[in-house]
């Protein structure tokens, strides 16, 4: 099997080093007719790796004979619906392209549904092609991720009682589209949650809008230092608050009345997880949060935070006392967390083991270097994310969050 160094591209720390600029996509119609401006090139952060991020090797040959990739079946009993929303925040300009006078977002909403219908796509072919190109993967069909079989049904009728469903907001990693957290989203929806996954425009290598426009990643073009990611985390916090406003208000989504506004949480992968701390510090409606393998930018949170929070990561990067710069960011944030908190590590994981990309890569015959198999990493991630949310949004006791579980020996409980 060909070895794929996928995980090396996606930690916040490694992304601060020089990286290849993604190929241009169809420019947004509202942008000026000139190249997207590069961000300033500040000096490299002293506590972060200085070497260039390696390109991904190409698989030896296309894997055209393999069946289409697929997401794992949800563990809950409910049918899952999903709808896509194109939201516009006219109260602020885009933080990355100030000439765009509003913040446009694409949001997927997964939810319990009454019946099945047309199976939803995973992502568009253009998004798939740009995501694979950014990773340097050319030995598989460029649109292969768009063929991924999901378990959700497009625009199915929502099911639930008024104010009966908790809301969970998901934020993907830097450069990654919202689709990469679909397995978590589908699973939570099957168990009675409404889940909103956000594409943070100009931070993903590809976001396609309903009119066909495709935006690419602006801060990916050039070197980055911690201030870039502090800016991104705070911008994502504003995105999250706006999405909560719209989903719980009238006229945006037909299932809005089903959402219990008093039970809102946030989870995210990589920068998306770290952004949860920024969002919770800004928005008191978010009762609990999870950072999944995400290095925390400086000064986030900037004050003590008493609401529940969980770190879930890999030992190679986040073992307390290791002296690694990534670990130090968790240790610093840990001191600010004054309420219920946990620090869990998944043995054998790589960075993409926690989202869909690692397991899907394995289905395509690509080796990410993870020791934990893709189906198992999906199972572990969904189990612990679900347990955390059931505890803090539904007040259901979760012993596996209090002590090691014989059924989940890969998960280690640690205390800094």
**Residues 362-394: pLDDT tens digits?**
999 998 899 999 999 999 999 999 999 999 999
CA distance 316 to 326: 10
Provide the pLDDT for residue 230: 94
Confidence of residue 118 (pLDDT cuts 50, 70, 90): very high
Asked if 220 and 175 count as a contact pair (C-beta separation under 8 A), the reply is yes
pLDDT in tens, 294-349: 999 998 999 999 999 999 999 999 999 999 999 999 999 999 999 999 999 999 99
Domain annotation for the chain: domains and CATH numbers:
2-18+56-413 (3.40.50.1820)
The answer to whether residues 282 and 185 touch, using CB atoms and an 8 Å cutoff, is no
pLDDT, residue 63, reads 42
Rounded to 5 degrees, what are φ and ψ at 359? -60, -40
Confidence at residue 327, expressed as pLDDT on a 0 to 100 scale = 98
**Tokens matching residue 147:** 């063929």
Average pLDDT over residues 77-91: 99
Could you read off the pLDDT of 123-156 as tens digits, one per residue? 999 999 999 999 999 889 999 999 999 999 999 9
Q: Per-residue pLDDT tens for 177-226?
A: 999 999 999 999 999 999 999 999 999 999 999 999 999 999 998 767 88
Q: What is the pLDDT of residue 13?
A: 36
Say yes or no to pLDDT of 253 above 90: yes
Confidence label for 165 from pLDDT (cuts 50, 70 and 90):
very high
With a cut of 80, say whether residue 61 has pLDDT above it: no
The pLDDT confidence band at residue 65, using thresholds 50, 70 and 90, is low
Query: If you average pLDDT over residues 2-31, what whole number do you get?
Result: 36
Average pLDDT, the chain: 87
- pLDDT of 25 over the 90 cut: no
pLDDT score for 2: 41
Q: Give pTM, 2 decimals.
A: 0.86
Token output for 16: 């601060």
Q: What is the reported pLDDT for 224?
A: 76
pLDDT beyond 50 at 8: no
Average pLDDT estimate for 170-174: 98
Of residues 17 and 207, more confidence is placed in 207
Q: Would you state the pLDDT for residue 36?
A: 34
pLDDT value at position 223? 67
């Amino acid at each position: 099997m060909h070895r794929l160094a996928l995980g090396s591209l996606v930690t916040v720390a490694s992304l601060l080093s020089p990286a290849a600029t993604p190929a241009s996509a169809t420019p947004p119609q509202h942008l000026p007719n000139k190249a997207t401006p590069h961000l300033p090139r500040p000096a490299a952060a002293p506590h972060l790796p200085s070497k260039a991020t390696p390109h991904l090797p190409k698989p030896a040959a296309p894997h055209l004979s393999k069946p289409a990739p697929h997401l794992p079946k949800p563990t809950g009993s409910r049918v899952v619906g999903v709808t896509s929303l194109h939201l516009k925040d006219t109260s602020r300009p885009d933080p990355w392209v100030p000439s765009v006078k509003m913040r446009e977002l694409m949001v997927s909403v997964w939810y319990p549904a009454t019946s099945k219908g047309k199976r939803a796509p995973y992502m568009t072919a253009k998004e798939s092609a740009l995501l694979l190109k950014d990773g340097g993967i050319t030995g598989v069909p460029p649109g292969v991720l768009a063929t991924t079989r999901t378990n959700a049904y497009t625009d199915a009728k929502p099911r639930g009682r008024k104010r009966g469903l908790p809301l969970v907001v998901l934020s993907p990693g830097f450069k990654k589209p919202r689709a990469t957290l679909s397995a978590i989203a589908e699973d939570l929806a099957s168990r009675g949650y409404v889940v909103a996954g956000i594409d943070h425009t100009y931070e993903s290598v590809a976001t396609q809008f309903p009119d066909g426009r495709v935006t690419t990643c602006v801060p990916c073009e050039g070197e980055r230092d911690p201030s870039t990611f502090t800016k991104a985390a705070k911008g994502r916090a504003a995105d999250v608050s706006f999405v909560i406003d719209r989903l719980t208000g009238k006229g945006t989504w037909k299932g809005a009345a089903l959402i219990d506004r008093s039970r809102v949480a946030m989870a995210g992968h990589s920068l998306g997880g770290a952004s949860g701390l920024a969002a919770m510090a800004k928005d008191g409606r978010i009762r609990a949060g999870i950072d999944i393998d995400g290095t925390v930018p400086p000064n986030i949170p900037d004050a003590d935070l008493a609401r529940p929070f969980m770190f879930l990561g890999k030992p190679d990067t986040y073992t307390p006392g290791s002296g690694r710069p990534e670990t130090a960011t968790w240790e610093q944030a840990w001191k600010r967390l004054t309420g219920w908190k946990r620090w869990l590590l998944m043995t054998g994981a790589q960075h993409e083991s926690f989202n869909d990309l690692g397991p899907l890569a394995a289905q395509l015959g690509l080796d990410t270097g993870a020791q934990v198999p893709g189906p198992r990493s999906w199972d572990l991630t969904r189990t612990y994310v679900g347990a955390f949310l059931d505890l803090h949004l539904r007040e259901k006791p979760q012993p596996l969050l209090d002590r090691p579980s014989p059924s989940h020996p890969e998960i280690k409980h640690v205390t800094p």
